[in-house]
């Protein structure tokens, strides 16, 4: 699988947790940015297709088919990761500020 194919499949996940986790893993592998710790627990939580992409990224770096990330690719992956994290923060903030039943 090529970088473009993997990126397209991650983008198609449209802001999902799996997409963010895969973007973080790719950043860790390709640029050595330690933006997010990736654990075995994270790997266990990935869906079937996401695990396939995880293994494709991992295999590409083991075989040295992928080189260091370009600044443009790094930016795209960071955008996926940050968009997901931002959306989660917004959801969390909304839940904290929602009035509970009977508090009106």
70 domain-assigned: yes
pLDDT at residue 87, rounded to an integer: 87
Q: Cα(first)–Cα(last) distance of the chain, in Å?
A: 54
Is 13 a domain residue?
Answer: yes
Q: Is residue 101 part of a domain?
A: no
Distance CA 71, CA 51 (A): 25
Q: Taking a C-beta distance cutoff of 8 angstroms, is the pair 19, 10 a contact?
A: yes
Residue 69 falls within a domain, yes or no? yes
pLDDT, tens digit (0-9, with 9 covering 90-100), for 5-56 = 999 999 999 888 999 999 988 888 876 655 566 778 888 899 889 999 999 9
Domain with 16, as residue range(s), is 3-96
Q: Is the pTM of this model over 0.85?
A: no
Helix (H) or strand (E) holding 73, with range, is helix 71-97
At 80, list the tokens. Answer: 């996926």
Q: Using an 8 Å Cβ cutoff, are 3 and 76 in contact?
A: no
Report residue 94's pLDDT band, with 50, 70 and 90 as the boundaries: confident
């Amino acid at each position: 699988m090529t970088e473009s194919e993997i990126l397209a499949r991650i983008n198609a996940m449209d802001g999902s947790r799996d997409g963010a986790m895969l973007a973080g893993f790719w950043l860790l592998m390709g640029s050595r940015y330690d933006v997010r710790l990736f654990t075995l627990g994270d790997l266990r939580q990935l869906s079937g297709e996401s695990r396939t992409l995880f293994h494709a990224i991992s295999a590409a770096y083991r075989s040295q088919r992928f080189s260091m990330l370009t600044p443009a690719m790094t930016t795209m992956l960071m955008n996926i990761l940050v968009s997901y994290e931002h959306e989660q923060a917004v959801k969390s903030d909304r839940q904290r500020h929602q009035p509970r039943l009977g508090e009106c």
